[in-house]
Structure 1
Amino acid sequence: MKRKAIGMGILVCVIAAGILAAAYWSRSGNKEGVLWPEKQALPSFSEPAATLDLIDLSSKLNYKAEDSDYEHQTGKADGDGWLAKEGADPAGIMLRVPSIADVPPGDNHAVFRMSVDRFADENGTVAKLEIRESSTGDRIGSLEVANWDFNNENASQSFEVPFTSPEAGKGVEIVVAWTGKSSLKLYDVQIDSPAREEEVGMFETVKGVVNKTKPRIYDDTRSDEGTKWLSALGLGYQKVKNNWELVAKYKNEIRGIVIYDPEVADTYNLATTIAGLDNAIVVSPALADKLAGEPYRFPVLEDLRGKFKTNIEVYEYLYDRYWPKTTHRVLVGLTPDIKTFLRDYAMGIEAAVVWLNPGVPEEEAILNKFMKDMPYGSGLYLGWWPDEGKGVTKTSEFGLATVAADYSSNLSVLSGTSRTIAPAKIPKKPPLENKVYVTYIMSDGDNLQYMEHYFSKLWFLPNRGEVPIGWTVSPLMVDAMPGILDVLHQTATENDALISGPTGLGYTYPNFWKDQAGLDRFFSRTDDYMKRAGLRVLTVWNTVKGETNPNVGDSLASHAPSLLGFTSQGGTGAVEIYQNKMPGQELNVVYGASEGDLIFPVQQAIEKWDRKSPLFVCIQANPWEVHYQNFVNAYRQLKEDDDIVFVRPDIYFELIRESKGLPIDPLEAKK
């Protein structure tokens, strides 16, 4: 009887847990603003407002000297700065930035980056740098810079001006006066404020609360890149002059504040988790009194000061108390040092936020507890790791995938854009001949922050389209940024092919998966998403240079039938056919780092070619060291050889399929 009683107790607990889980999934799937159907990898936020509040969440305020919004009385724009030339321009104000409202009161400093063209024969003042109070014009910080204060000619050098900002509500202005002595180039002025670092983290969580119901705030921190997507998506915006305006504007949507403990950094992640569940904002102790007082009067929902001594205690507490309330479909990994970027999205999807290193035994033990509760084959770890290899290996062992996104700024806006995606058609392939077929791949598109930020610099290059190339992107863009994915298809040239980054629905090492059925499910979901994303080629990673196990290729052949083929990281160029229907090729170059990596492997392959059959050379390069112009240069050099044919990766695999006697397009073969 006693044993039966224990069994009934366990049964009751299981039923209760099931009811709680069902209640959570029902709530998260239908709550206002964020929809997360069971078969959807990541949720959809609601449609963004037609005009977004554009805010700057950089911890340092940066003012580019050439910006036309600022006052210039002498000199002219000169590339990445403003230039006043000796003998050509009159002495005067070469830069004035008026009415800066978002510098926090207290001790701050401004850093002016400048250069001179030569040193004068006699030392003398070349510029007067000033910070003034806007309303009175009073100087609150100044520095005279002489010719001989520069260490080198025509070399950028920084000069610091400490100042004490006036009380809240009184702005400052920047003034640079040029004396006419030596030509002076001013690049930018940066205001660094310790208090602002605390504020921007709080404003990020305001964005998290507001965008959860309807995306209305967009982070303009990387404005030279981010607003390009807004324009392409047809979204309007208005710049917010003072971020504090938003606290007042959206006050009624904020339920309260959660105070983190600066003495225990990881309480910031715990506070973010709590804030996401309670529609609260995360604040430092220094801001708590201001936000609890007039005119805001926010209640303190939880004060984490003094509760923990170590990060282990923090995450044990999070696991025990809040993990049962958060989604288990996604775990967010963010260092507490990053107080902006992905946190708004983490709050919107009500995810737990952690920073645990699988290379540290105590931290690994807690991480394992979180991951064993996540769905094998579909769970995602969103953010990044202290160590890439150890982190991706850990998620792979638990049947999960990593999604690099720790510096993603606006997923809470971009995931609400239209999910209508019209994939571009693959151009007709050339006839198969005894030629050397070369395809280039630009790596790292699985990285959502790269797609949001740096990728736009590549995509909007005026000469894009000269070289056939495969641009890796993430199939998760179907959920995370569908509007941008559609823009890519609509603006692609015939030489631009979008293909999947590693390894489909997230970065994972499939060789390390322990459950074959779970891996099969993962590739089946990947196939579904790739079809909707218009991607026909997959890049598979098993560490940076690891070969792919046969069971992985077989799984792709059986469960990702829409693929034309896949690449792997072996580095030999060898082509394998899996189950007589799926070609996979080890890349000739797995992660090229120079222009030479685009040229020499092709030349070496030609030297060994027997000319009796087609030869296929596939080179992948990383975007941080290899630029688009490097591809152009390599292409122009190699295309002079009549034996070399450059093709995009999807056509490349069509040619491989034809050379191996396989259906050229498996989707057409099924019809």
Structure 2
Amino acid sequence: MVSRRTFLAGSGALTAGGFGLLPGLPAGAVPTLSTTTSGRLLPGFERPKHLHYGDVSKLSGGDQTLLTTLQGIVNRTRPELYFSFDTGTMSTPDAKWLTDMHLPTTTYQNPLDLVARYRHRVRGAIVHDPAVPDSLNVATTLAGLESAVVADADQAKAHGLRIVKDLRGMFDDDRVKTYRWQLDNLFPRVTHQLLAGLPPTRVVAVENVQWQEIARETRQIRDSSNRGSYDLDVSAKLGKGTVFVRFADSFTDDGWGASVSEITVKANGTQIAHFLPGTPQEAPFLFDGVNSSIGGEANRFSDGGGYFIYQFEPPAGTTSLVVTVTMWNQYLVSATDTSPTRIEPFAYFRDYVVATKALVSWLPPGGETGDLLVEHFAKYPTLAPYMGWFANDVSGEWDGVDLASQGGSPVIAADFYMNGTVHAGFSAPISDKVRPVRRINKPKNKVYLTLTFGEGDNIQYCQRHMRDLWDDPKRGDAPANWTISPLLLETGPGLFSHYQRTATANDLLVCGPSGAGYTYPGSWVPSDFTQFLKLTGSTLRRTGMDVVYSYSHRENDKWVLLSPEIAAGFKKYTPLKGIMQTWDGDLLAVRQGGLPVVGQWGAPGKAAEYKAALDARVAQWDGTKPLFISGGINAWSWTPSEISELASLLKDPYELVLANTFFDLLNRVL
């Protein structure tokens, strides 16, 4: 067995008046593995003094990658470069955070001019192989080690960059071999303080593509009752050689989109394709499946704003093209004759990876790639975070987080975390004061409901979508809990400080799953999990949070109750007053290991439908004692305005409370 060295970030923050400021690194220092004396889990950066700013939202993925890897080298000690990846207006998150920092800023109309300005700070370029997408990640790892940027050959020539290492022809399309070479040859040189997972490419929508609607389910069906075989005539899109057929969700706010289990395609009556999702036969026709998943019925599905696209190339002269599909639920099918997307390098978060000299890979957590991912976790110290994300969408998330948990690595979802080096260096006051409880002296026989926005473990969500939600003018009209990552202490103190300082009396920050990083407690080696709990306790005490939303682990495709031992560990090592956990069953409110644990309950739809589902559940309550419901709110489809709308519908016997009041009551009732 590979030995693992355990480390723990201590509580060595500088404090004054209840606020903690995390220390940066001395000038010229290179980030190294944390120790208990450094007070940090992750590498640190000096506070920026002046930022050179550019809007890169219209640049190609290749040019964005060139600039973000340049940003990683330049920002390695004191950050100087900051980019906007949105639209360039001052209402986008990147621009809002820049404004909030109140730093002197120089704006560049052409951000690529910054390459010439800072060319003397880099040794040259690591040239990736466009024919082998994963070579971009190897190039990124090398860029951090060699103080270089990542470029293709044309970019290197155009910007006068010396080629430090040329990866063209070095790898083939065998992903395992590529990342095996990287692990064997580069691991001794990279930081062992974190490891990263980033997709080498991304799918970019092509503008002005005209989609023609072919079929739509107009009813909100979620029980497969409309399952059937549907003949979809897409002949109107013949003529350019390829027809693209997209399956999406006709009701994007409740998460029960198109589900497909079999497809047959006939051109002028002759079969040209037949396949089942998830099989090798599907692969030649699946044009874009990144936002979809394979379900338990061997079906491909996509919910909310997601979709999947198939492509079909009928023979020349075809006048009739019919796609026969077995599908169900809330489908929306459309077709086009124009390629709707293109593939570009994935540029995001590479500044942080390069600056910290991290090793970055992209290994789907299954089969040979999953075995190699396990080897990665085994080589790193316990608590070394995995930053980025996993391949294969939802199933990749579950399997990837499970492997990371078994390997002792908390996950920090960060693949779209922009300007990470700047946000990690920008210190800001964070209070360690716990929010006072609005105490209800005598619980009544009422339904006490607390509502919680999820996704807060995801630091890119905290940086981007949460900021949009937070700026809703209706925020604060009704009590709501907001999950947030306590690791923003180090990855974005300014972000955490903003939310903490601008919270209303009806906003409560609670720890996102499942503590100091996204993880499944039941999958850890117990002794390693104790170290995670100590880290969680340290970060919670420094951020004033005393409630956590936690996952447990899955058995037979179901989330199970946190064990008494795990709950007792939370009680012993953290300041928690209670735990909200993922749950697949009926309402749950129990005492485990000395702490109240409640299962997160949810319902589809928006305010009226959510209220109707609550009423249906409450109808089973006998009214002889208080009923406690911890309600989950989908952060991607709800807003504070809709929380306010729901609150207006909650009359007697409901009482909407914050989580601290909720657990204060529950602790006295259980």
- Given the two structures, how large is their TM-score scaled by the length of structure 2? 0.69
Whole-angstrom CA distance in 1 between matches of 2:402 and 2:378: 14
Map 1:585-596; keep pairs closer than 5 Å: 585-589=598-602, 594-596=606-608
Q: 8 Å contact 1:511–1:548 — kept in the other structure?
A: no
Aligned to 1:599: 611
- What secondary structure is seen at the aligned counterpart in 1 of 2:69? helix
> Which residue is 1:55 aligned to?
54
Give per-residue Cα distances to partners, 1:176-230, cap 9 Å, x unaligned. Answer: xxxxxxxxxxxxxxxxxxxx43222111111111111211111211241222122
Matched residue, 1:344: 351
SS in 1 for 2:187: helix
Q: Shift in Å at residue 610 of structure 1? A: 2.7
**Cα distance, 1:557–1:315 mapped onto 2, change above 3 Å:** closer
2:379 maps to 1:373 = yes
Distance of 1:245 and 1:350 partners within structure 2 = 25
> How big is each residue's C-alpha offset from its partner over 1:513-544, in whole Å with a ceiling of 9 and x where there is no partner?
2x211112111211111111221111111359
Q: 1:314 to 1:563 in 2, by over 3 A?
A: same
Distance 1:44 1:419, change over 3 A: farther
| Aligned residue number for residue 38 of structure 1 | 35
Distance 1:468 1:247 in 2: 48
Measure, in 2, the Cα distance between the counterparts of 1:524 and 1:420.
Answer: 23
- In the TM superposition, what is the alpha-carbon distance from 1:584 to its structure 2 partner? 0.8
Deviations 1:552-586 (A, max 9, x none): 5434344334101001112422222123x311111
Distance 1:408 1:321 in 2: 28
Q: Distance in 1 between matches of 2:474 and 2:350?
A: 36
User: How many residues in Structure 1 have an aligned counterpart in Structure 2?
Assistant: 488
Who wins on radius of gyration, i.e. which is larger?
1
Pairwise CA distance, 1:267: 0.7
Q: C-alpha separation between the residues in 1 aligned to 2:189 and 2:27?
A: 14
Q: Which of residues 190, 199, 207 is equivalent to 2:71?
A: 207
2:529 is the alignment partner of 1:519? yes
More deviation in 461-470 or 29-38?
29-38
Instruction: Tell me, in whole angstroms, the C-alpha distance in 1 between the residues paired with 2:61 and 2:501.
Output: 39
Secondary structure at the aligned position of 1:212 is classed as coil
Partner in structure 1 of residue 578 of structure 2 = 565
Show CA shifts across 1:21-54 (max 9, x none): xxxxxxx9877356564242222211012x3222
8 Å contact from structure 1 (residues 276, 346) kept in 2: yes
Shift of 1:593: 5.3
Residues 407, 552 of structure 1: alpha-carbon distance in 2 compared, 3 angstrom cutoff: farther
Aligned counterpart, 2:591: 577
Q: Does the CA contact (< 8 Å) of 1:439 and 1:469 recur in 2?
A: yes
Q: Work out the CA distance in 1 between the residues paired with 2:460 and 2:529.
A: 26
The residue matched to 2:509 in structure 1 has which SS?
A: strand
Matching residue's letter, 1:32: G
Q: Does 1:239 align with 2:103?
A: no
CA contact (8 A) 1:53 1:239 kept: yes
Structure 1 consecutive aligned stretches of length 4 or more whose deviation exceeds 6 Å: 28-31
* Separation (CA, whole Å) in 1 of partners of 2:500 and 2:62: 40
**2:97 maps to 1:229:** yes
1:213 counterpart SS class: coil
**How much does 1:339 deviate?**
2.8
Q: Distance in 2 between matches of 1:500 and 1:441?
A: 11
CA contact (8 A) 1:441 1:620 kept: yes
- Deviation digits for residues 436-463 of structure 1 (CA, Å, limit 9, x no counterpart): 1110000001111111111111111112
Q: Separation in 2 of the partners of 1:457 and 1:617?
A: 27
Question: Is 1:252 aligned with 2:120?
Answer: yes
| Secondary structure, aligned partner of 2:443 | coil
Q: Note if contact 1:258-1:274 (Cα within 8 Å) is conserved in structure 2.
A: yes
- SS of the equivalent of 1:312 reads helix
Q: In the alignment, is the contact (CA less than 8 A) between 2:439 and 2:664 conserved in 1?
A: yes
Change (3 A) 1:43 1:548: farther
Distance 1:479 1:432 in 2: 41
In 1, are the aligned partners of 2:550 and 2:582 still within 8 Å (CA)? yes
Unaligned runs of 5+ in 1: 1-13, 19-27, 62-195, 293-297, 661-671
Note the C-alpha offset of 1:322.
0.7
Cα distance in structure 2, aligned partners of 1:197 and 1:549: 43
CA distance in 2, matches of 1:301, 1:604: 66
User: 1:400 is matched with which residue: 409, 431, 446?
Assistant: 409
* Secondary structure in 2 matching 1:488: helix
Given that 1:540 and 1:567 are in contact with CA atoms closer than 8 Å, whether structure 2 keeps it comes out as: yes
What is the CA distance between 1:344 and its match in structure 2? 0.3
Aligned pairs for 1:398-477 within 5 A:
398-418=407-427, 420-423=429-432, 425-434=435-444, 435-477=446-488
Instruction: Point out which structure has higher relative CO (alpha carbons under 8 A, 6+ apart).
Output: 2
Sort the Cα spacing of 1:321 and 1:346 in 2 relative to 1 into closer, same or farther, 3 A: same
Question: Which residue of 2 is the match for residue 549 of structure 1?
Answer: 562
Q: 1:41 to 1:548 in 2, by over 3 A?
A: farther
Give the drift of 1:644.
1.8
TM-score by length of 1: 0.69
User: Is the 1:54–1:240 contact (alpha carbons within 8 Å) kept by the matching residues of 2?
Assistant: yes
Residue 587 of structure 2 aligns with an amino acid whose one-letter code is: G
Aligned amino acid, residue 46 of structure 1: E
Per the alignment, residue 631 of structure 1 pairs with 643
**Whole-Å separation in 1 of the counterparts to 2:63 and 2:629:** 51
Aligned equivalents of 2:25, 2:431: Cα separation in 1: 26
| Structure 2 residue aligned with 1:291 | 159
Matched, 1:499 2:495: no
User: How many Å apart are 1:414 and its aligned residue?
Assistant: 0.6
Equivalents in 1 of 2:177, 2:588: separation in Å?
50
Distance in 1, Cα, partners of 2:43 & 2:442: 43
- Where 1:385 maps in the other structure, the secondary structure is coil
Q: Which amino acid aligns with 2:179?
A: Y
Once the two structures are superposed, residues 573-611 of structure 1 have per-residue CA deviations (whole angstroms, 9 ceiling, x without a partner) of 2222123x311111222x755435642343234323233
Inter-CA distance 406–573: structure 2 relative to 1 (3 Å threshold): same
2:658 to 628, 648, 651: 648
Larger mean Cα displacement after TM superposition, 259-268 or 198-207: 198-207
Q: Residue 33 of structure 1 contacts residue 213 of structure 1 at CA under 8 Å; is this kept in 2? A: yes
Aligned AA (2:409): L
Q: Aligned equivalents of 1:457 and 1:325: distance in 2?
A: 40
* CA distance 1:212–1:552, shift in 2 (3 Å): farther
Aligned partner of 1:494: which letter?
Answer: A
Higher helix share: 1
Distance 1:500 1:610 in 2: 33
Query: Which among 130, 134, 148 is matched to residue 262 of structure 1?
Result: 130
- Counterpart contact for 2:459–2:485, Cα < 8 Å: yes
Cα–Cα, structure 1 residues 597 and 45, in superposed 2: closer, same or farther, change >3 Å?
Answer: farther
Query: Structure 1, residues 137-173: CA drift from partner, whole Å, max 9, x if none?
Result: xxxxxxxxxxxxxxxxxxxxxxxxxxxxxxxxxxxxx
Q: Using the alignment, how far apart are the partners of 1:243 and 1:231 within structure 2?
A: 18
Q: Alpha carbons of 1:460 and 1:236: their partners in 2 closer, same or farther (altered >3 Å)?
A: farther
Residue 301, structure 1, aligned to residue 158, structure 2: no
C-alpha spacing 1:460/1:503, structure 2 compared with 1 (3 Å): same
Contact 1:204 1:339 in 2 (8 A): no
Q: 1:531 to 1:315 in 2, by over 3 A?
A: same
**What one-letter code is carried by the residue in structure 2 that aligns with 1:559?**
K
Offset of 1:237 from its aligned partner?
2.8
Alignment partners' CA distance in 1, 2:104 and 2:479 = 34
